[in-house]
Structure 1
Amino acid sequence: MPDTGWASVSTPYVRPRRLGEPDAWTEEAAAHGHVGTNQLRGVEEARPPREVADMLGLGPEETAVVRRRLVLLDGRPTELADSYYPREIARNTRLAEARKIPGGALTMLAELGYRPHSAEERVTARPSTKPEQDALDIQPEDWVMVLTRVLRTDTGTPIEATVMTMVADGRELRYKMIINEET
């Protein structure tokens, strides 16, 4: 069966970028003839949702730094992405500032000594909420796909948990995994 769809590969999204390399979304969208951008919606220190706190190994009263973004494809909203970082790692770094990070958050984490080693993802689908409908320009009857990802160092330390809420417009979600046999 020929591959006629847009199959996203997760690897570029879970590794630090090299100097001068575009972010993974910009690069992937351009490879398919589109323009991919992000708008930073806010940065704050807050108590994460229980699922995120569990992924980061945080207690119920502990906080994390969250970077909230709106992901656009050709200027149209396609995804809400909220990335959470343990407060002890992110506080007093560019991760806690409301501005773009050169090379992206994973590059910053690697510079701080927290290089991503493994990623674990989960995908669910559910009806959209009113705030999601407004941000993603979708209708009340529309559903969303929610991809949650936790990144860990080689010692198992969780360094980032991201919740990506995507427009579920009838397209399938496909994964392609490249296996590195040199490990």
Structure 2
Amino acid sequence: AIGEPRAAVKRRRMWVGGVPTQLADSYIPASVDVEIGYSAGLTVPGGIYGLLEANGHRLDRFREELVARQASPEEAVALHLSNGAPVVSLVRHAIDEAGKVVEYFDSVAAADRHRYVYEFKATD
């Protein structure tokens, strides 16, 4: 998905009010990581997208795919859900102006703890 065999990976489990709500993994191509210092802990306002843009990777578009499904046994344990509880899987590709995937984001969220709202302009 990122066009390279190696990546810098950050894995997170997000909590709200003491309850785990989301598992989120970000994959940055190794060549991009070297340029932006992601795995070295460098930060700027705007998080990973601000860091990418500050280092010459102007973002052009995102491709997202949402899928509702049952939690795997491992996801159910990590999110404190019952076996087979509904989750929403979100996969995002962040693509720069050169057409390179600069982040692959893969998350699983407890379906009853999230709302996804999208707003975008209609174009010709």
TM-score by length of 1: 0.58
- Structure 1: which 5+ runs fail to align? 1-53
Greater relative contact order structure (CA < 8 Å, 6+ sep): 2
- State the SS of the aligned residue for 1:151: strand
- Mapping 1:1-183, distance limit 5 Å: 54=1, 56-58=2-4, 62-91=5-34, 93-97=36-40, 99=41, 101-103=43-45, 104-169=47-112, 174-179=116-121
> Which structure dedicates a bigger proportion of its chain to strand?
2
Are the equivalent residues in 2 in contact too, given 1:65–1:91 (CA < 8 A)?
A: no
Residue identity matched to 1:175:
V
Indicate the larger mover: 100-109 or 76-85. Answer: 100-109
- Structure 2: which 5+ runs fail to align? none
- State the SS of the aligned residue for 2:121: coil
RMSD across aligned positions (CA): 2.4
The percent of aligned pairs where both chains have the same amino acid is 26
Name the CA distance, whole Å, in 1 between partners of 2:74 and 2:92: 22
- State the SS of the aligned residue for 1:90: helix
Aligned length: 122
Are the equivalent residues in 1 in contact too, given 2:67–2:89 (CA < 8 A)?
A: yes
Instruction: Report the Cα offset of residue 153 of structure 1.
Output: 1.0
Name the CA distance, whole Å, in 2 between partners of 1:102 and 1:73: 24
1:3 aligns with none
